[in-house]
């Protein structure tokens, strides 16, 4: 689903871990509270894979302290990519694509793409912001997420 109300942001980072370890952690949304600051809790039905349903709880603002979003894994390629989307009929559309690839130097490249409907911003704040401001903030947040993901993965054992 693509529309004028969608914001899309992509970022990448290199992580000093094996691709299998990075993918196992990064592709599992139950780990998101460790590196995405707004996510407070995430549960999933079954093991990671296509068809898995995820319920994500996020603190977006005082006006929206516990936003619950259902996501479904629509594509899962072991040690390569996992894509999660809101189901049809959700109040606002969200999509995340999590890709990893091994590099010759032993590092793993992580590419994270987020796409979301700007309606969620209005829900969180109570008013709409200009698209360019939302896009700038989303890009800034995405870079921060990736730095935090790198720190979590490089500091020790992965769950």
Handedness of CA 132, 129, 87, 29 (dihedral sign): positive
Find out whether 114 and 8 touch, Cβ atoms under 8 Å. Answer: yes
**For the chain, what percent of residues have pLDDT higher than 90?**
91
Report pLDDT digits (tens) over 24-46.
Answer: 999 999 999 999 999 999 999 99
Report pLDDT digits (tens) over 102-153.
Answer: 999 999 999 999 999 999 999 899 999 999 999 999 999 999 999 999 999 9
| Average pLDDT of the residues of the chain | 94
Bridge-based pairing of strands 108-117 and 94-102 is antiparallel
Q: Is pLDDT larger for residue 2 or for residue 82? A: 82
CB atoms within 10 A of CB 147: 13
pLDDT band for 5, please (50, 70, 90 cuts). Answer: confident
Domain boundaries, the chain: 22-152
Find out whether 74 and 50 touch, Cβ atoms under 8 Å. Answer: yes
For 113, counting Cβ atoms within 10 Å of its Cβ (0-12 exposed, 13-18 middle, 19+ buried), the class is middle
Find out whether 143 and 12 touch, Cβ atoms under 8 Å. Answer: no
The angle subtended at Cα 112 by Cα 110 and Cα 113, nearest 5°, is 155
Q: How far apart are CA 35 and CA 25, in angstroms?
A: 11
pLDDT band for 94, please (50, 70, 90 cuts). Answer: very high
**Among 39, 9, 7, 8, which Cα is nearest to 118's?**
7
Find out whether 15 and 107 touch, Cβ atoms under 8 Å. Answer: yes
pTM of the predicted model as reported, rounded to 2 decimal places: 0.93
Q: How far apart are CA 53 and CA 71, in angstroms?
A: 6
For the domain made up of 22-152, the CATH class stated in words is: alpha beta
């Amino acid at each position: 689903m693509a529309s004028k109300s969608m914001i899309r942001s992509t970022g990448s980072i290199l992580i000093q871990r094996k691709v299998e370890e990075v993918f196992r952690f990064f592709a599992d949304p139950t780990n998101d509270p460790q590196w995405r600051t707004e996510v407070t809790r995430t549960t999933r039905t079954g093991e990671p894979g296509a068809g898995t349903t995820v319920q994500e709880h996020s603190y977006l603002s005082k006006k929206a302290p516990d936003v619950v979003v259902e996501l479904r894994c629509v594509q899962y390629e072991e040690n390569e990519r996992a894509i999660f989307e809101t189901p049809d009929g959700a109040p606002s559309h969200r999509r995340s694509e999590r890709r990893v690839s091994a590099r010759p130097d032993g590092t793993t490249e992580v590419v994270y793409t987020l796409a979301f409907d700007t309606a969620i911003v209005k829900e969180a704040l109570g008013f709409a912001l200009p698209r360019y401001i939302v896009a700038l903030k989303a890009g800034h947040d995405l870079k921060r997420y990736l730095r935090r993901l790198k720190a979590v993965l490089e500091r020790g054992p992965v769950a």
